Amino acid sequence: MNELHSFSWYAARVKKHLPGEAFKPVPARLFGGLTYLIITIGCFLMIGLFTFHPLVNLIFSIIIGACFAGLGFLGHEILHGTVVRKPWVRDMLGAIAFWPLSTGPRLWRKWHNLNHHVHTQHDEKDPDAWPTLERIASSPLFSWIYRLPLSVRATFAFASLAVQFTAHSFKMFFVYVNEFKPGKQPEVWLQTFLPWISWIGVLFIMGLEKWLFAFFIPLLIANFIVMAYISTNHRLNPLTPVNDPLANSLTVTVPKWVDILHFNFSYHTEHHLFPGMNPKYYPLVKKQIKLMWPERYHEMPMLQALIALWKTPRVYFEHKELIDPGNHNAFGSLGNQLNPKAILPRKLTRK
pLDDT digits (tens, 9 = 90+) for 26-54: 999 999 999 999 999 999 999 999 999 99
Tens of pLDDT, residue by residue over 183-222, are 999 999 999 999 999 999 999 999 999 999 999 999 999 9
Cα 177 from chain centre: 20
Please state the rounded mean pLDDT for residues 71-94: 97
pLDDT value for 297: 96
Q: Is the dihedral of CA 314, 317, 322, 323 positive or negative?
A: negative
Neighbouring residues of 57: CB distance < 8 A, sequence distance ≥ 6: 47, 210, 213
Question: Per-residue confidence at 351, pLDDT binned at 50, 70, 90?
Answer: very low
For residue 350, pLDDT over 60 is answered with no
Quote the CA–CA distance of 282 and 26 in Å, as a whole number.
Answer: 14
| Integer Cα distance of 29 and 62 in angstroms | 23
272 alpha carbon, distance to own chain's centre: 12
In degrees, rounded to 5, the angle at the alpha carbon of residue 167 between the alpha carbons of residues 259 and 78 is 40
Residue 348 has pLDDT above 70, yes or no: no
Interval 264-297: pLDDT, tens: 999 999 999 999 999 999 999 999 999 999 999 9
Mean pLDDT of the chain: 93
Residues 6+ apart with CB under 8 A from 72: 97, 98, 100, 101, 165, 222, 226
The answer to whether residue 341 sits within a structural domain is: no
pTM to 2 decimals?
A: 0.94
For strand 321-324 and strand 316-317, is the pairing parallel, antiparallel, or unpaired? antiparallel
Query: Residue 167 contacts by C-beta under 8 Å, 6 or more apart in sequence?
Result: 160
Strands 316-317 and 251-253: unpaired
Residue numbers of the domain that contains 267: 7-312
Residue 322 forms part of a structural domain: no
Does the residue 293 lie in any domain? yes
CB-based contact 222:68 (threshold 8 Å): yes
pLDDT in tens, 110-161: 999 999 999 999 999 999 999 898 888 887 887 788 888 888 999 999 999 9
332 lies in a domain?
Answer: no
* Gap between the Cα atoms of 134 and 137, Å rounded: 5
Does 351 reside within a domain? Answer: no
Residue 33 lies in a domain: yes
Three-state SS for the chain is CCCCCCHHHHHHHHHCCCCHHHHCCCHHHHHHHHHHHHHHHHHHHHHHHCCCCHHHHHHHHHHHHHHHHHHHHHHHHHHCCCCCCCHHHHHHHHHHHHCCCCCCHHHHHHHHHHHHCCCCCCCCCCCCCCCEHHHHHCCHHHHHHCCCCHHHHHHHHHHHHHHHHHHHHHHHHHHHHHHCCCCCHHHHHHHHHHHHHHHHHHHHHHCHHHHHHHHHHHHHHHHHHHHHHHHHHHCCCCCCCCCCHHHHCCEEECCHHHHHHCCCCCCHHHHHHCCCCCHHHHHHHHHHHHHHCCCCCCEEEHHHHHHHHHHCCCCEECCCEEEECCCCEEEECCCCCCCCCCCCCEECCCC
Residue 317 is assigned to a structural domain of this protein: no
Let me know if residue 329 belongs to a domain: no
Q: Per residue in 191-201, pLDDT tens?
A: 999 999 999 99
Return the pLDDT at 95. 97
> At residue 308, what is the residue type?
A
Domains of the chain: total: 1
Where residue 316 falls (left for φ over 0; alpha for ψ -120 to 50; beta otherwise) is: beta
